[in-house]
């Protein structure tokens, strides 16, 4: 027995009778929330707040009853589209980035260096080409500032910047071009060796 005004933590017949107008689901939900009864606190949420809570809970579907938490689902995130970008390659990755990749699409390689003024003028045009041809042409840059000397010797790169076109797993004979180039000149160079045209 409990003193006057106190009630046990478990609902009894009187609780169900007093809250006959409420659904059993919300009766169960309220018992799981953890609110303990007291002299001024019915075991269920008062009717004037129950309707508001019911609307809120119904809006957050699905609801798992019989648990101390309300579990809701969130919409799946859409996959983020990753924009293409110029590839910075090296001696170790050259075979995969250039030779193997050229079997799927032509690859233009830009040999450059940090101390090379004309190289900096060509750089924006290479970014433009990567976006303009959008997968039909791969753009790769080789930094010759301090390394990749073996590649320079292998492909006889003596001046910077230097462009070379690769296709079908090999360098295209005669495609080596040294010196600065304008965007229009780059578009003409690409069209000559790949047949791809672009509006400049």
* Cα-to-chain-centroid distance, residue 179: 37
Helix (H, G, I), strand (E, B) or coil at 164: strand
What residues act catalytically? 116, 119
CB neighbourhood size of 106 (10 A)? 21
- DSSP code for 102: G
Query: Parallel, antiparallel, or unpaired for β 107-112 and 170-171?
Result: unpaired
Crossing angle of helices 117-133/183-194, nearest 10°? 60
């Amino acid at each position: 027995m409990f003193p006057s005004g106190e009630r046990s933590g478990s609902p009894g017949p009187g609780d169900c009778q007093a809250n006959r107008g409420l659904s059993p689901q919300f009766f169960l939900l309220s018992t799981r929330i953890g609110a303990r009864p007291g002299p001024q606190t019915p075991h269920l949420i008062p009717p004037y707040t129950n309707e508001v809570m019911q609307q809120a809970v119904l809006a957050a579907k699905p609801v798992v009853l019989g648990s101390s938490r309300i579990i809701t689902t969130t919409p799946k995130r859409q996959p983020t589209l990753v924009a293409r970008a110029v590839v910075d390659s090296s001696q170790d990755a050259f075979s995969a980035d250039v030779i193997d990749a050229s079997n799927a699409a032509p690859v233009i390689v830009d040999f450059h260096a940090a101390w090379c003024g004309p190289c900096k003028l060509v750089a924006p045009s290479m970014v433009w080409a990567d976006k303009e041809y959008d997968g039909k042409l791969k753009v790769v840059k080789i930094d010759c500032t301090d390394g990749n000397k073996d590649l320079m010797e292998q492909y006889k790169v003596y001046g910077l910047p230097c462009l070379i076109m690769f296709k079908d797993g090999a360098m295209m004979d005669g495609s080596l071009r040294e010196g600065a180039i304008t965007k229009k000149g780059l578009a003409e160079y690409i069209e000559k060796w790949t047949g791809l045209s672009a509006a400049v």
